[in-house]
A and B are shown apart, each in its own frame.
Chain A
Amino acid sequence: MLKSGGHIDRSTQVITVKGVSKSFGELHVLRGVDLHLFRGENLVVLGRSGTGKSVLIKLISGLLKPDTGTIEVLGEHVDELDEKALQQLRLKIGFSFQNSALYDSMTVRQNLEFPLVRNKRHLTRAEINHEVEDVADAVGLLHTINQMPSELSGGQRKRIGIARTLILRPEIMLYDEPTAGLDPITCIEINGLINEVQEKYKTSSIIITHDLACAKSVGDRIVMLLEGRFERQGSFDQIFDTEDERVKPFHDYNFIT
């Protein structure tokens, strides 16, 4: 089933990862990973904790460098770009962090306007305010705009974190565990928001999660990271139609226990 209503352009890959490996000392996290993301697609990356899911999107956004392999984002090789070119490319990539990573010392409004003020210096104060209020409204939190991040709930922080990335109108969204630590109702709201973002802003997204309800709700395609490699990919039902002992407990824990 296509969650994005058939807007996927399968002729255009916005992200292409080829043979990427990454180690931290003796710990080999990724071992020759291949991955692609089509324009308009929601791709879910499933896997156990510590299997390198977050490392993968940090490599894609250029926060980490791969040991081997290549990463192409919107036609540019991330690992070959200089600092300035990488910064320009990052404006087209939205990154929603697991713990939201809101700037504690700033209000919600200042958090939202921070990327805008720094990257679109030609905008007037009125235009900035309009943009900020527009994205705050898009995530349903316009009323919290003058609050500090410490005054927000976990779900609200996630929403503001997503809003902050949307303000630069990215083409690609990377979500790191968007529903981690949230109650089931808030999880449903966040899943809905991810789908709304894709509809409204026409983004292509990679969603890192181990929450199968989230994967089922937002994923057009799911890939499973096992022992540093993507060993399974397909729709939700295809992924879990297996007797593989590394995969089955995942499904059973989420839907049977």
Chain B
Amino acid sequence: MIKKIQRILIELANIHRFVMRFFREVFMPPYEFKEIIRQCYEVGWKSLPLISLTGFITGIVFTNQSRPSLAEFGATSWLPALISIAIIRALAPLVTALIASGKVGSQIGAELGSMKVTEQIDAMEVSGTNPFKFLVVSRVLATTISIPVLSCYTAAVGLLGAFLSVNAAENTSFRVYFDQVFEAVTFLDVFSLVLKAVVFGFTIGIVGCYQGYHSSKGTEGVGRAANWAVVMSMFLIFIEEILIVQIIQAMRA
């Protein structure tokens, strides 16, 4: 039992050191702009088809599920306002982050894990390159930049999906729908979307990199790194969601 607690404490100390090293190295030259752009392409652009489909379906499904409750009070005209608040405040960043942690987090964990066990990270280090800066800082920055952009995109696609459903059932025009959407949404809602997405993006990147960078025991370790990257980042995303909602509610009051 004591050994288990000791192991957990050592792991926490390692995570703390890893995160602190990121913040130390992110501001120090040389800056890996080319690698950051390449990673943004990997994380952002290559996730677009999946995010588009998921965001669109989320918009349609959420609208269809919300309609009966509002219809009971004859308040289906409130659907655009309800949907926009739900999508922008909660669904868009959460859905994007969960999809990204599955797709991007596991990819980062497996890629770095494989590089670690085949000594490619050591090879980088002995050839005078800082592997932490090249591999970790660039990937974490890429997820921190890309996830907010993807979340905004998910919100737009989700609202479009919701519009199709609203238009089909209530015959609401495009203009009226979006007038109601923008009337309901405040600056704080958009701010909360971006804030959550930045935090989620950082979490996905740093967890994936940490798991990959510290993997061992050959191919089994690579699989474990990919798996833990997803499990840990999803778990942390939900914890962060709760905390950020509390902060935003306090700001709203």
User: Which A residues form the contact surface with B (CB < 8 A)?
Assistant: 58, 61, 63, 83, 87-88, 90-91, 93, 95, 97-99, 101-105, 114-115, 118-119, 164-165, 168
Contacts and interface: CB of A to CB of B under 8 A. Distances in A.
Contacts of B119: 97-99, 101
B118 A99 contact: yes
Contact of B126 (A63, A88, A104, A105): A63
18 contacts: A63-B122, A63-B126, A88-B128, A90-B126, A95-B122, A95-B123, A95-B126, A102-B120, A103-B115, A103-B120, A104-B114, A104-B118, A104-B120, A114-B124, A114-B127, A118-B127, A118-B134, A168-B128
A119 B128 contact: yes
A164 B126 contact: no
A91 B127 CA distance: 6
Nearest to A103: B120
Top 8 nearest A-B pairs (CB, nearest first) are A101-B123, A115-B127, A101-B119, A95-B126, A91-B128, A119-B128, A118-B129, A97-B119
A57 to B, nearest CB: 10
B125 interface: yes
A168 B125 contact: no
A90 B128 contact: yes
Nearest to B134: A118
A63 B125 contact: yes
A164 B125 contact: no
Interface of B: 111, 114-115, 118-120, 122-130, 134
Nearest to B121: A101
Contacts of B126: 61, 63, 90, 93, 95
Contacts of B124: 103, 114
Contacts of B128: 87-88, 90-91, 115, 118-119, 168
A205 to B, nearest CB: 15
A164 B127 contact: yes
B56 to A, nearest CB: 32
B29 to A, nearest CB: 11
A103 B123 CA distance: 9
A119 B134 CA distance: 13
A87 B120 CA distance: 16
Contacts of A83: 130
A90 B122 contact: no
Contact of B130 (A87, A97, A101, A115): A87
A104 B111 CA distance: 10
Contacts of B127: 90, 95, 114-115, 118-119, 164-165, 168
B125 A97 contact: no
Nearest to B34: A117
A194 to B, nearest CB: 18
A97 B129 contact: no
A102 B121 CA distance: 10
A90 B123 CA distance: 11
B130 to A, nearest CB: 7
A112 to B, nearest CB: 11
B21 to A, nearest CB: 11
Contacts of A115: 127-129
Contacts of B114: 104
B36 to A, nearest CB: 15
Contacts of A58: 122
A119 B120 contact: no
Nearest to A98: B119
A103 B125 CA distance: 13
Contacts of A114: 124, 127, 129
Nearest to A165: B127
A101 B129 contact: no
Query: Counting chain A CB atoms within 10 Å of each CB, which of B111, B119, B134 scores highest?
Result: B119
A102 B127 CA distance: 12
Contacts of B118: 99, 101, 104
Nearest to B122: A63
Contact of B123 (A93, A97, A168): A97
Contacts of A61: 126
Nearest to B25: A83
